[in-house]
Chain A
Amino acid sequence: MTAGKPGLRRWLAMILALAMIAAACTSADDEGGDTTAPSDDGTTETTAASGGDTDDGGDDATGDTGDSDIKNPGLLVHAADDEPLSLDPAGVEPGEGGETVILQVYERLLEIGPGGPELVPGLATEVPTVDNGLISADGLTYTFPIREGVTFHDGTPLTADDVKYSWDRVMTMSLPESAADVLNDIVAETAVIDDYTFEVTLQKASAAFLNTAVVGMVSSIVSQDAVEANGGIVEGEFNEFMQGNMVGTGPYELAAWNRGENLQLSVYDGYWGTPANLDVRIEIGSTPDVRVLGLRAGDYDTIEADPSFIGEIEGAEGVTIFGEGLTVEPIHIGFNLNIPEGALPEEDTIPTDFFWDPKVRQAFNHAFDYQAFIDGALGGFGDFNPHYIPQGIFGYDPNAPVYDAPDPDRAVELFTEAGYCPEGFTASVITEEANLFEVAALVMKDSLERLPCNITIRVLAVAEAQFDDAHAQDPIEYAMWVKNADPFADPHSYVSSYQHPDGEWGEVHGFANGYADPEAVAELIDAAEVELDPEARAQLYSELQFLLYDDPMWLIAGQEGVVAAYRSWVQGWTSNPLWPRPSIKFALMDK
């Protein structure tokens, strides 16, 4: 059977040739002496030494792309982390993938500008202030002049009626998973003064109103005609049409949503402002590894990234890494001051009032190895965060004292004074598994068990759903848990949720049991909420930050850095951590 031999040789030759071609192509990225050049704007671009130039450091991360063959011209392909569950501003859950799309397609009366926390006019033509007379002297009434000549994607004109309808709709539907309470908790009445004037009366004066309620995705303006033609408003019920369709006024309109595959946005030709440059396709469902490969392949222009991606992307040709600024979702470990009797895991030896003693809470904060967490889990992309007013948010006081370095001696001293050293204790912390939160819990375990106090920290790493179940209980049946904060644009949202003794977490965790003077904390927070003078308000928050250093209710492991990666041919890439993740606006980009 010699006839088989030539066939075999042909097979071998083919296999060899294919292997050589593959090897030649896949090694291209690693050859040619790539250069990696950090620039002044926080980006790092890698281009092939033989053909590309490094970024010239423009403010918007533009410059010579180093890529001559731009893939998908006219289209921006973004690889997202997750798929939206709802595209309805009245139904979207804060932090969920739908907010990303709502940011691009709908507009709000005011927007957060690209440069930072400042507010810029959106569908309202002016930002209300006391000085321009659009906020009443008592701080209760806000008037919004509505932009004329704006049309919805269905062609109908925008009027103040649509604005009132959109806000009233959210408050009437009041869906539990949504951020409807942002409006319900503060708005007393909405009114249409004329076709282009909208007025809001508040329940009480609030310096946070514009930064929380008005710019939130929940306050996006929808087409009254479109909603009424498709189910209208039903109290407590979501609107199926609006869950999957969008009729807004933004620079993009929803072109298609192929669930599980992609979501497509097309440039809205009738947009009143600066039109978008590129159509957008959001690719759904890529794993982190595949997103990185897609970016390297040039099929994806931008991807959702986190610090763990950097090692894989660094050195990739034609890819720019952005690593500047901080997200506004501090990673925290919650101390439970409201532990139900007999609820803790049986291994735990701590009493139910364990965290009532401020010395214990301080000791935890002194023991934690912050630098290890930032360098390890966050890959160096992060910073210390003091007391729940994140860096980048109004009111953050850089002079306030910070827990930023482990002080084991002080921790031992405090545990000793509290009566837990050297006797020791066992306490459990519950966390989602296999993410930054678990690492934070492990760093805490390592930090505390290192002390000569016989301490055992049990890290209960569980599936996300199991954690959500435990986390949603009131009271929580664990001593500690790890999570990150929801992102907000105003300090009041942080301190009211996470520090106020009567706030969302103050009640669940029983902060009143632990604060040396809960009323003083409450008074500071309440006073800052209604203080319309920015200087005076900042002073109140500063006082609060000093006070909370001695009376911490959380261990804040760190503030995660903003990390992103995109093809170098993308121009105008801008990130603002106050925009919903991934904190970018497609309309600003070109390629």
Chain B
Amino acid sequence: MVLPLLIVGVSIIVFGLTRIGGSPIGIYLSHEMNAEEVAELEEKFHLNDPVPVQYYYWASGVLTGDLGWSGVAAAPVTDVFPDKLAATMELAVASAIVAVSLGIGLGTFAGARRDRAPDHITRVVAISGAAMPLFWFAILMLIVFWVGLGWFPIGRSDPTIYGRIAHPTGLYTVDALLAGDMGAFRDAIWHLVLPAVTLGYGATAIIARMMRSSLVEELQEDYVDAARAKGLAERLVLRRHARRNALIPTVTVIGLSFGFLLQGTVVAEIIFRWPGLGRWMADSVLRGDQATIMAYVLFTSVLFLFVNLVVDVIYAYLDRRVVLGT
């Protein structure tokens, strides 16, 4: 019951805020329109009504699957949204894989070697990831790996490869696998590397830091000493006991990091020419495309709540003291 209320609350706040910036009519206008045509548009989109009435029309539309017209995409929001969403999710998931695998790996590696050189280096890497502005790091990656070395491309796919397979899911990696085309799969991965590593690096830093400190704490616990005392190999002490418990707070951070990744997709998509929600959103903000902005806000609110729900479930799995539903 709380979740729908939260979503409604967020949508009301954002709707109100977008209207403070002025009427959304600008996105629909062209200099060729006369005053009558402008008035017709205002009437069509209910822009002369009070803001609560406008919100009512927007919310009614959402319930019937109509998210409005995107002036930036020149198409209904619902037509464009699935493809953009697929592009963003593919990038966010790839980034999350990078962030989680590297973050947990590096955190474990550093935590197990506390205050020794590997620990210090890992911490430097982690802190630099968190400290570097994403847009700067992204440009740096492009200069080195695209312009300088020519190892990785920009964009989402090679157009010649894109055209040879069907795209039922809009996730190019999945589409390529469904089509059994390994060339297309490699191309999709190849295009994913730069944006995913760039985006994932910032989150890697946060996860690695959390994993390291949790692991260091866990390794000082009595049960670890007990495990060592009973003769368990250090590797097993680490994997079976300390790391599992150290993951509990880390998972919470991973959930929050997904929000960071979604937020980061805006910058990453703009710089890496990735045709996802983030870039669409940025264009929409700049051009005042309020229908798109509202759709994005609605989506991210729902997604964020869903991710937190998933985190709670995983939390319960990792920490047997937590019981869901109570």
Contact = CB atoms under 8 A, between A and B. Distances in A.
Contact of A465 (B26, B31, B37): B26
A466 B288 contact: yes
Interface in B4-29: 21-27, 29
Interface stretch (A58-66, A165-173, A289-297, A574-582): A289-297
Contact of A472 (B29, B117, B139, B144): B29
A465 B289 contact: yes
A181 interface: yes
Given A466-B22, A472-B29, A22 B162 contact: no
Contacts of A4: 113, 116, 118
A8 B113 CA distance: 12
A466 B26 contact: yes
Contacts of B25: 469, 472
A259 interface: yes
Given A86-B74, A259-B83, A8 B279 contact: no
B288 A260 contact: no
A176 B33 contact: yes
Contacts of A296: 147
Contacts of A284: 273, 275
A290 B286 contact: no
Contact of B146 (A85, A281, A293): A293
B149 interface: yes
A468 B26 contact: yes
Contact of B32 (A179, A283, A468): A179
Contacts of A286: 154, 273
A93 B30 contact: yes
Interface string B131-154: 000000001001110111110011
A463 B31 contact: no
B147 A177 contact: no
B157 interface: yes
A229 interface: no
B102 interface: no
Contact of B26 (A258, A290, A467): A467
A417 B288 CA distance: 43
Q: B interface, how many residues as a size bin?
A: 35 or more
B243 interface: no
Contacts of B162: 258, 261
Interface string A238-267: 000001000000000000101111101000
Contacts of A11: 121
B156 A8 contact: no
B286 A463 contact: yes
Contact of A468 (B29, B117, B118): B29
A269 interface: no
A284 to B, nearest CB: 8
B72 to A, nearest CB: 8
A230 interface: no
Contacts of B30: 93, 176-177
B155 interface: yes
B288 A464 contact: yes
Contacts of B153: 299
Interface residues of A, number: 52
Given A262-B159, A287-B270, A8 B146 contact: no
Interface string A309-346: 00000000000000000000000000000000000000
Given A4-B116, A176-B33, A259 B80 contact: yes
A94 B31 CA distance: 9
Nearest to A472: B29
A346 B157 CA distance: 53
A22 B148 CA distance: 7
Contacts of B286: 463-465
B170 to A, nearest CB: 12
A256 B159 CA distance: 9
B73 interface: yes
B2 interface: no
Interface in A484-512: 486
B35 interface: yes
B21 A466 contact: yes
Interface of A: 1, 4-5, 7-8, 11, 21-22, 25-26, 28, 85-86, 93-94, 176-179, 181, 243, 256, 258-262, 264, 281, 283-287, 289-290, 293-294, 296-297, 299, 463-469, 471-472, 474, 486
12 contacts: A25-B144, A179-B32, A259-B73, A260-B275, A261-B159, A262-B155, A293-B139, A293-B147, A469-B29, A472-B26, A472-B33, A486-B31
Minimum-distance CB pairs A-B, first 4:
A465-B288, A260-B275, A465-B26, A25-B148
